[in-house]
Structure 1
């Protein structure tokens, strides 16, 4: 698997696999007439013999892409996911897997994480040791004592603070796309490419055995067991959950953002594979 940059880079230091600038790499582009100062090693002697004057080879310059892990590290990510694991563990695995793919292809990886207390940005690097450091920072940041999640504030920081064109992996929990978030994502899409991974909420309604009390980490309030066993509330919960998911997917698709939703660590790799394929085939 590899990460595809849809647009050609316009800057010599900007990331991407295809550059409008010429340079030294293994990807042949074309031939041009020799001019004073060209490296003799670049002369194509066979073409020169046929043409009658010196011709040199030109190559497409190799440019590295930049992946930014944009991770919601608010208290919401300390909650339980659909598969019974904490959302934080799933987020760490997803960020690590995609970061590893990027690093093995020679790309650089950085991290922007945050909650209501503010955002923290960590510099880019291209080694496994650097990626592990980023993942440890995510793991240490998320707890039940963390501030509430603030995805709008986090993405607003990225829009203002990340100047270099990048591929953004946004990892967050289930959110509704309101007007403010939609405007912000439209602004980010003009500057970056975005893929979106949602860590799904746990099923709050009891389907089998007797229910136990659960707690909302956002409000620190309890949900009594007898409510979780109510069949009518269960139907309403299912309808609301499906509606939220559908609206989010449609909204992201309308913005040109590929998305997937996962509920367990076992689902992370298949979801990332599907996400990369969606992004690769997306029309720009």
Structure 2
């Protein structure tokens, strides 16, 4: 089987503008709270730097703002929290499987984290249970985690159970970490909100939704489509109905808006993607949102 990590790295190179990738890599370090007190050197101030890092004496001598840089004194920990239930075997908005997009997202941020010397672990699960995979910082370890995501998601998997997976994280991960939650389109009900509020007190969280495919036919005749949640076909006459299409679009937009507002109210930055080509840009936006929200 070809390397999943190699595919991720190739896609990152092909899809990302160099400037965006530089910003994503440079911005990653600021995604965590706290920093080392080991001074390294000075550099010119750039927009977005914390004003608390400005060395005012050096600034006065040099005539332009200078900020202090620090040497990282400890590794950070990234936990990839991935819904690996049957829902993630469905087709995404861009026509790819949600599983492939989840692998791309987990691989991209995991690779950046490992490149910065941080450790990466995986928590994955569905209705049949949740499993945690240990942390590591090598490319071989990250490849193993990506293969676990790829292997666990199929039409034969149990149904998705994001609440069960997150409950396991809340009970099982004590060390303060950065959580990347990768999941299907889900409603943010009271139970999930309470659980996320608890997790938010323990960890830093960013959220990536893999968007559903458009189930309604916009032109021509409907092709055969199956609901992976119920494992039943969706009749063509329903998917071609104009009135139902309007209702579908309204309900879809409402779900997205309510989920985004609910996550924002909880202090969780979120993005939604529909294809692997969108992942790197979405991760950059997600990191930037998270960084700015903490200020």
Specify the TM-score bucket, using the shorter chain as the normaliser.
0.7 to 0.9
- Other structure's SS at 2:87 match: helix
2:184 corresponds in structure 1 to 173
- The question of whether the paired residues in 2 share the 8 Å contact of 1:5 and 1:65 is answered with no
- Other structure's SS at 2:248 match: helix
Displaced runs of 4 or more, over 4 A: none
Task: Provide the aligned C-alpha RMSD in A.
Answer: 1.6
- Other structure's SS at 2:148 match: helix
Once the two structures are overlaid, the 10-residue window that deviates more, 265-274 or 168-177, is 265-274
State how far apart, in whole Å, the 1-side matches of 2:286 and 2:220 are: 35
- 1:199-221 Cα deviation digits (max 9, x unpaired): 00000000122112211101111
Paired residues, number = 242
- Tell me: higher relative CO, structure 1 or 2? Use CA pairs within 8 A at least 6 residues apart: 2
1:104 aligns with 2:130: no
2:135 corresponds in structure 1 to 124
- The question of whether the paired residues in 1 share the 8 Å contact of 2:31 and 2:290 is answered with no
- Other structure's SS at 1:186 match: helix
Using the TM superposition, give the Cα deviation of residue 60 of structure 1 relative to its aligned residue in structure 2, in angstroms: 6.6
- The question of whether the paired residues in 2 share the 8 Å contact of 1:27 and 1:60 is answered with yes
- 1:175-221 Cα deviation digits (max 9, x unpaired): 00000000000000000000000000000000122112211101111
Corresponding residue to 2:233 among 217, 222, 225: 222
Using the TM superposition, give the Cα deviation of residue 7 of structure 1 relative to its aligned residue in structure 2, in angstroms: 2.7
Using the TM superposition, give the Cα deviation of residue 90 of structure 1 relative to its aligned residue in structure 2, in angstroms: 0.3
Change (3 A) 1:255 1:61: same
- 1:219-253 Cα deviation digits (max 9, x unpaired): 11111011110000000000000000000000000
State how far apart, in whole Å, the 1-side matches of 2:266 and 2:138 are: 32
2:40 corresponds in structure 1 to 27
1:268 aligns with 2:279: yes
Q: TM-score, normalised by structure 2?
A: 0.79
Aligned pairs for 1:7-86 within 5 A: 7-8=33-34, 18-19=35-36, 25=38, 27=40, 62-86=73-97
Report the structure, 1 or 2, having the larger helix content: 2
Using the TM superposition, give the Cα deviation of residue 63 of structure 1 relative to its aligned residue in structure 2, in angstroms: 1.3
Using the TM superposition, give the Cα deviation of residue 70 of structure 1 relative to its aligned residue in structure 2, in angstroms: 0.1
Corresponding residue to 1:157 among 156, 168, 171: 168
State how far apart, in whole Å, the 1-side matches of 2:204 and 2:193 are: 15
1:277 corresponds in structure 2 to 288
- Other structure's SS at 2:117 match: coil
Q: Which ranges of structure 2 fall in alignment gaps of 5 or more residues?
A: 1-23, 42-69
1:185 corresponds in structure 2 to 196
State how far apart, in whole Å, the 1-side matches of 2:211 and 2:88 are: 10
State how far apart, in whole Å, the 1-side matches of 2:170 and 2:237 are: 44
Change (3 A) 1:61 1:139: closer
- The question of whether the paired residues in 1 share the 8 Å contact of 2:77 and 2:177 is answered with yes
Q: Which ranges of structure 1 fall in alignment gaps of 5 or more residues?
A: 9-17, 29-58
